[in-house]
Chains A and B, each alone.
Chain A
Amino acid sequence: MTQTAMAVPGRDTRRTAQPRSGRADPSRYSLGAAFAHGDALTRASALVMGLGNIARRQYVKGAMFLVGEVAFVVLLLTRGLTSLKGLLHLGPVTKGGQQWDANGNFVNVNPTNSVQVLLYGVVWVFLVAAFVVMWAAAVRSAYKAQVLTKERGQAPSIASDVKDLADDRLYAPLLSLPTLGVVVITIIPLVFMILLAFTDYDKNHPVAFNWVGLQNFATVFSRAGSTAIGVNLGIFMRVLAWTLVWAFFATFLNFFLGMFMAMVILRPGTRLKNMWRAFFAMSIAVPQFVSLLAISQMLQPQGIVNQMLKNWGLIETSMPFFTNAWWARATVIIVNLWIGIPFTIMQVTGILQNVPGELYEAAKIDGASWWQTYRKITMPFIFFVMTPYLIVTFTNNINNFNVIYLLSLGEPTKVGSSAGQTDLLITWLYKLTADQGNFNIGAVIGILTFVVLAVVALITYRNSGSYRNEEGFR
């Protein structure tokens, strides 16, 4: 497309709704081009942002860049440099308590609040990154103004720039707030947690702490570990193994038993199909934490289930639903069936009603038995549809905080271990940080959970058709 083809100056006339490929063409006004072909004013805009725009009579735009730069530099000099420097040692004073000061007086020194120092440091790193993005935008904008002035005699006015934001560059205003929210509430906290893994922020250093390198990883991965915190390689491997075993059972037991029950309801001889489904669906509608808390109460040593069994003379002593490790593990898996099976019933019912009828007719004509039909037609169809869903469920189960925490609290716990026998990585992490104040080890566990999840997530999405073939069905 040539520039002369444009009917309205300053407006892209390519009005197809979307380019064929998912990718937009590379811009003419890239940073490289700006430095290679830009004139003196454009290059000077790299130092004094907005200069090129103001020179090309884009006063508002240029002023915004300039004000942005001045504000950033002032803030950086007054606040930012101290914050960034603080990242080196997490604070100028690292130890509090009563000390002798320079004049020989015995004074009380407040320890540095290292959390604050680290947080401000991280925020400033993000602010600097944001400034770099703005800087690049300023240089490119200056170059664009230069080129368009040369080609059309004038750079786009502020009005046409605003119009552009409502049209071709609509993504910018629409994405800005959601992105800001994600950066503040998801990405910065994740970075912060990752950094904590390299500090000694534990219950012995609750206020002032410092970098310790990979020491925490060494603690988690050594046989001796740390008895004070209650973590070592053995405990970590045990929790990891139970997390995977739990996720496996919670996913596949739910799936197969749920499928079985869906088939039983769908059986030709079963009456009142909708009534049965409604019974099971009721547990979906009750908030999960309510049903979990209620069931947890029912299964306590003095709870109603044990009471009833005693009343009927079936048992003498209470069954150790949450006090014996193996009982507790079985209990959480079985209660999770109560939570999960109704979802599977709903889904499998939906899928089975959608199997092409011709397949079954053909099988019938060929004289296939019920079992053959089931194995060769029904099962493959269900798996075909459900596989991506199953993998997602698996990752969700690795993080199934509610079921474990509200049912068993991760109990029972062995002496000297910070993780209970039914703790998942995620509940262990929570206990380490929220209850025990060992943020550094908690962060290490978080990173390791992150690794496990990322591996599963990558496999999942790379292989799912909806990702690879996003616009395939259009």
Chain B
Amino acid sequence: MTSQARTAERGVLKPPSTVVRSSSKGGMHRRRMVGDVVTHVFLSVMAVLWLVPIVWVLMESFNKNTSPFQTTFFPTKYTFDNYVKLFTDTSVMNFKAMFMRTLVIAIFVCIITLFFVLCVGFVMSRLRFRQRRAFMNVALILGMFPGIMAVAAIYFILKAAGLTGAPAQVTVALVIVYSAGSGVGFYVMKGFMDTIPISLDEAALLDGCTRAGVFRRIILPITKPMMVYTALVGFLTPWLDFVMAKYIARTQDSYTVSLGLWQMLQKEYIAQWYARFAAGAVIISIPIAVLFIVMQRFYQTSMSGSVKG
């Protein structure tokens, strides 16, 4: 993130500054009123367009008629059954197990990602060594390439390591896939640590602290908001990813939540699972939305600088 962008983020916290008001020439009043009306109509239409899919999924999740072919936009009869069945009816598709599996993966990915990003971020921000620039360049280039590009090869490696058979093995495999490469995503963390004054380090080093001590006693405590952000990014990855999981989890008993939801819309399932898809979508969207908002909050807090005052 450039320093300008960072200043821009900081600006969010400030009260809005003025955007020039149009000059007060004669006859402007009426024109402005027309402008206001047009503006509000336009925004209303747009807001409806933006909210319709969300509201539709929400309503559909309470639909008593579970078939995919509807004739009315909103359901005619409402029920809570879809939510209950989603978690209790495990005969065809065990959504509950998928949910728990994704939760376990998310917790591990969260921890490993946080650890890796903190280590690499600190090294790149505070330590100088040969090949540092080379490391950073390689990380930049690698960060550009999405995992899907080599997903087939990743699958072969996991297979050679015996991690593609039983559901438990696939779970481990997915943890590895989501977290092992997370070290290259250190740039935001490094940017944050760069804003911590170097004089703090120098003072500690003069007092006889080792660099490991500087990391643990000085950098880590200040980095807390950024740590929350990084941890949440890691935690959300398995919930939001679809494509890597699809290639690596081959059987339904090793699916994650996103694969399960996708499966519900396939030909063989859609007739029974259409409304339950909507219910599942709502169930996982709400916590993710909350975490996402928390994450943004912490991101903005961290972007407003590391050391206050």
Contacts and interface: CB of A to CB of B under 8 A. Distances in A.
Contacts of A269: 32, 35-36, 39
Interface residues of A, number: 121
A350 interface: yes
Given A116-B160, A182-B183, A185-B177, A175 B144 contact: no
Interface stretch (B83-91, B164-172, B194-202, B220-228): B194-202
B242 interface: yes
Interface string B1-32: 11111011111101011111111000000001
Residue from A167, A264, A297, A474 having most chain B Cβ neighbours under 10 A: A297
A170 B123 contact: yes
A349 B135 CA distance: 35
B157 A119 contact: yes
Interface SS of A by simple majority:
helix
B133 A22 contact: yes
Interface string B34-56: 01100110110011011101101
B254 interface: no
A450 B54 contact: no
A81 interface: no
Interface range, B side: 35 or more
B247 A434 contact: yes
A177 B123 CA distance: 13
A270 B148 contact: no
Interface string A438-453: 0100100010011001
Contacts of A293: 261-262, 265, 277, 281
A357 to B, nearest CB: 5
A78 interface: no
A402 B49 CA distance: 21
B146 A357 contact: no
A117 B290 CA distance: 47
Contacts of B142: 182, 186-187, 190
A170 B126 CA distance: 10
A286 B183 contact: no
Interface string A20-44: 0011101100000000000000000
Interface in A418-474: 426, 429-430, 433-434, 439, 442, 446, 449-450, 453-454, 457, 461, 464-466, 471-474
Contacts of B93: none
A241 interface: no
B205 interface: yes
Given A190-B145, A287-B239, A307-B71, A18 B198 contact: yes
B285 A166 contact: no
Contacts of A351: 8, 11
Contacts of B150: 186, 189-190, 192-193, 446
Contacts of B183: 178-179, 181-182
Nearest to B22: A370
Contacts of A177: 115-116, 119
Interface of A: 15-19, 22-24, 26-27, 115-116, 119-120, 163, 166-171, 174-175, 177-179, 181-182, 184-190, 192-193, 196, 261, 264-271, 273, 276, 279-280, 282-291, 293-298, 302, 304, 307-308, 311, 338, 342, 347, 349-355, 357, 360, 363-364, 367, 369-370, 373, 384-385, 388-389, 395, 399, 401-402, 405-406, 426, 429-430, 433-434, 439, 442, 446, 449-450, 453-454, 457, 461, 464-466, 471-474
Interface of B: 1-5, 7-12, 14, 16-23, 32, 35-36, 39-40, 42-43, 46-47, 49-51, 53-54, 56-57, 68-71, 73, 115-116, 119-120, 122-123, 126-130, 132-133, 135, 139-142, 144-154, 156-157, 160, 176-177, 179-184, 191, 194, 198, 201-202, 205-206, 210-213, 215, 239-240, 242-243, 246-247, 258, 261-262, 265, 274, 277-278, 281, 284-285, 288-289, 292-293
Given A166-B213, A349-B12, 12 more contacts: A178-B116, A189-B151, A273-B16, A288-B240, A289-B262, A295-B53, A302-B69, A304-B70, A360-B19, A399-B148, A405-B243, A474-B194
